[in-house]
Amino acid sequence: MPFVIVEMWEGRTVEQKRNLVRAITDAMVNEAACKPDHLHVVIHETPKASWGRAGVLGIDMQENKQAQAAADAEEKGQ
Ligand SMILES: O=C(O)/C=C/C=C(\O)C(=O)O
């Protein structure tokens, strides 16, 4: 029973996850000769506040601060 686990930050839409599961299943069927009925794909979503890389939390990574500031500004209509 093939089992694929995806570890990623939370925040994707259901549609994105639906498409991701389909794409992973297609890849496993086409490239690894898996039977689709036996393939499990599990998505583990972790908050950025609980994810660290190089000693830095996801929420504290510079690129995320910039992206969040841009999103906040757009929401305020700036
Ligand atoms: O560690 C990083 O720099 C980025 C991680 C990003 C994810 O886990 C994600 O986009 O889900």
DSSP conformation letters of 52-63: EETTEEGGGSHH
Selected catalytic residue, list 2, 17, 29, 41: 2
Q: Is the ipTM of this complex over 0.95?
A: no
List, in sequence order, every residue forming a beta bridge with 3; answer none if it has no partner: 40
Residues with C-beta less than 6 Å from any ligand 1 atom: 8-9, 53
Q: What confidence score (pLDDT) does residue 65 get?
A: 77
Output the tens digit of pLDDT for each of the chain's 78 residues: 899 999 999 999 999 999 999 999 999 999 999 999 999 999 999 999 999 999 999 999 987 778 778 888 888 886
Single pTM value for the model: 0.81
Active site residue 2: yes
Residues 6 or more apart whose CB falls under 8 angstroms from that of 10 comprise 45, 46, 47, 48
How close is the Cα of 45 to the center of ligand 1, in Å? 11
Distance (angstroms) between ligand 1 centre and the Cα of 73 equals 23
* Phi-psi map region of 69: left, alpha, beta (phi>0 left; psi -120 to 50 alpha): alpha
Secondary element (H or E) of residue 16: helix 14-32
Ligand 1 atom showing the smallest separation from residue 53 Cα: 1
